[in-house]
Homo-oligomer: A and B are copies of this chain.
């Protein structure tokens, strides 16, 4: 097996196991066993479990952001913010959805000095800024305020969906988002 597929296989397996069993509850032995390789290989690529966690988080976030950006590109500035939660719902209700990485990671690594916590916190802030950018394009006044509110809805609904799949939480988050966006536009 070529080097890149083995590394990405470890990343995929780790992503899945971290979400379904928890990060701290998943040992590297389990990861390599499921991925069909050995610890030597894992440590060659990632150096430490912490590095693996960080790369899993980075990849997951990047994939989400890329997917979302691609969906929104081409849309008119006003549409972007209003269609945002439609795409988020699509992402979350996909059967391959495995939860929002940085939410779980920040809960499992609450120590603010932890590199994992810092990355999670940064990703959360980055996503909020992404929403703020969309709000700005739509000529909304209090972009930061609306972005924070929408990110709260997103994180709450993702958490709820993670806690109980098929809860339909995102559907209601979408409606709430619509109301909040319209309120911010009317100002």
Give residues in A with beta carbon < 8 Å to B: 19-22, 24-25, 99, 103-104, 106-111, 120-121, 124, 145, 148-149, 151-157, 159-160, 162-164, 169, 172-173, 175-176, 179-180, 183
Q: Tell whether, in the assembled complex, residue B124 and residue A152 are in contact, meaning their CB atoms are under 8 Å apart.
A: no
Counting every copy of the chain, the complex holds 2
Please report the C-alpha to C-alpha distance between residue A104 and residue B105 in the assembled complex, in whole angstroms: 10
Which residues of B have CB within 8 Å of A179? 179-180, 183
Query: Smallest distance from the beta carbon of A116 to chain B beta carbons, Å?
Result: 11
Query: Smallest distance from the beta carbon of A121 to chain B beta carbons, Å?
Result: 5
Partner of A149, one of B22, B151, B155, B173: B173
Q: Tell whether, in the assembled complex, residue B107 and residue A107 are in contact, meaning their CB atoms are under 8 Å apart.
A: yes
Q: Which among A103, A110, A159 has the greatest number of chain B C-beta atoms within 10 A?
A: A110
Nearest opposing residue in chain B for A19, CB measure: B110
Q: Tell whether, in the assembled complex, residue A120 and residue B163 are in contact, meaning their CB atoms are under 8 Å apart.
A: yes
Partner of A175, one of B121, B149, B159, B160: B149
Q: Tell whether, in the assembled complex, residue B163 and residue A148 are in contact, meaning their CB atoms are under 8 Å apart.
A: no
Query: Smallest distance from the beta carbon of A124 to chain B beta carbons, Å?
Result: 6
Please report the C-alpha to C-alpha distance between residue A76 and residue B124 in the assembled complex, in whole angstroms: 38
Q: Tell whether, in the assembled complex, residue A152 and residue B162 are in contact, meaning their CB atoms are under 8 Å apart.
A: no
